[in-house]
Amino acid sequence: MTSYSLLYFNGRGRAEVIRLLFTLQGQKFEDKRVTHETWHAIKPNTPFGKMPVLTIDGKEYTESLAIAKFLAKEFGFYGSNNQEEYEIDQITGMCHDLFLELVKEFFEQDSDRKAEIQRNLKEKTKPRIVGNLEKVLSAKGNGYCIGETLSLGDLVIYDTLDGRVEDDIIDKNPNVKAVMNNVKSNDRIEAYLAARVPTAM
C-alpha cells in the first residue's frame, strides 16, 4: 500500500489544497505539521529549504502546485482530456494570482501599508479576480469547473476564497458561489472542515 506523508506548517497556506485532495479521495496520509520554531531545525533536511514536502514511499516531492497537479492526476481529479486540463490550469492560475496578493497582506508589518493593501484587495483585486472566475464558470453554469463532479479546479477555488474573500463579493458571483457550495457539501470534505482547527492563513 502506498504511503503518503505531507510536511507543512500548522496552517492552510500552500498545503491545504493537497490536504483537500487526499480528503476527497478518501486517502489516508500523515499530516505532519511543524511550528515556525521547529522549522529551522527541519529546513536543512528538506530538498530546497521550503515546504510543503510530500513524501510518497520514501520519495520526496516539492512545489505545492506541482504536487497538487500530480495528486489530482493520480486520483482522477484533473479532467479526462487536454482541454479539461487547460480549464483547470486556467482556474488554478487565476486563483494563484489572488493568493499571491493575499500573502502580501498577511506578511505586511506596517499598519498603514497593510490598511492600504486591504483596501485595494476589497475594492479592486478581489472583485476583479472573482469576477473573472465567474465569467469562466458561467459558460458551464452547473457549479463545477469541468464535468459534473469535483476536480482540482473546484478545490482551488474553494480554498483560495474560503474565509479570505468577503461574502458580499462571492454573493455577486452565483457560479463561483455554487462551486464553493458543491465543495463544502461533499460528505468527506464537510467532515474534514468540521474538524479543522481555524488558522490565520
Residue ranges and CATH numbers for the domains of the chain are 4-76+189-195 (3.40.30.10), 82-185 (1.20.1050.10)
- Give the span between the Cα atoms of 186 and 198, in whole angstroms: 19
What's the mean pLDDT in 66-87?
98
161 touches 176 (CB < 8 A):
yes
For residue 137, the one-letter residue type is L
Q: What pLDDT shows up at residue 125? A: 98
Q: Share the mean pLDDT of the chain.
A: 97
Q: Specify the pLDDT at position 136.
A: 97
CA of 124: how far to CAs of 40, 88, 139, in Å?
37, 24, 24
Query: pLDDT tens digit string along 55-68?
Result: 999 999 999 999 99
Residue 141 has a pLDDT of 94
Mean of pLDDT values over 177-187: 98
Check residue 66 and give its pLDDT.
98
> How does residue 198 score in pLDDT terms, banded at 50, 70 and 90?
confident
pTM: 0.96
Q: What's residue 157's pLDDT?
A: 98
Q: Describe the strand order of the beta sheet including 53-56 as a list of residue ranges.
A: 30-34, 4-9, 53-56, 59-62
- Cell 488558522 identifies what position? 199
With a pLDDT cut of 70, the percent of the chain lying above it is 100
Q: Model confidence at 52, in pLDDT bands (50, 70, 90)?
A: very high
pLDDT tens, residue by residue, 90-103: 999 999 999 999 99
Is 188 a residue whose pLDDT tops 80?
A: yes
Q: Given pLDDT bands bounded at 50, 70 and 90, which one contains residue 201?
A: confident
Determine the pLDDT at residue 197. Answer: 86
Given a cut of 90, whether residue 54 has pLDDT beyond it is yes
- pLDDT, mean of residues 47-59: 98
In this predicted model, what pLDDT tens digit does every residue of 110-145 receive, in sequence order? 999 999 999 999 999 999 999 999 999 999 999 999
